[in-house]
């Protein structure tokens, strides 16, 4: 059985995100919500630290990712709703 949480660190985030992995810009998530590099974020997704040891998302980092994905979902919903809005009603954000 694969260990997915080690000392309160989530090590299988890439597996948890596999449904959306090709649809999301993880670089943008890393830069915008974590203020970190994409390589830092990819290591987190893979459950390793920068030195190849066990790493992953702390509960606080997992909460940040949760908020980031919810923010992105809200933005996608607003964009989808703009498709059906009359041209003169579409807000410019």
Cβ-in-10-Å burial (0-12, 13-18, 19+) of 52 comes to exposed
The pLDDT, as a whole number, for residue 85 is 81
Task: Find out whether 62 and 10 touch, Cβ atoms under 8 Å.
Answer: yes
The pLDDT value given to residue 1: 41
What predicted TM-score, i.e. pTM, was given to this entire model? 0.81
pLDDT at 89: 59
pLDDT in tens, 19-48: 999 999 999 999 999 999 999 999 999 999
CB 23 within 8 A of CB 53: no
Q: What is the DSSP letter of 18?
A: T
Domain ranges of the chain: 5-84
């Amino acid at each position: 059985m694969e260990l997915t949480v080690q000392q309160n660190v989530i090590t299988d985030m890439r597996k948890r995100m596999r449904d959306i992995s090709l649809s999301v810009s993880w670089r943008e998530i890393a830069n915008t919500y974590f203020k970190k590099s994409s390589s830092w974020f990819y290591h987190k997704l893979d459950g390793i630290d920068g030195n190849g040891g066990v790493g992953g998302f702390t509960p606080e980092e997992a909460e940040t990712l949760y908020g980031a994905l919810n923010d992105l979902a809200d933005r996608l919903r607003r964009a989808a709703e703009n498709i059906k809005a009359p041209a003169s009603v579409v807000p410019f954000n």
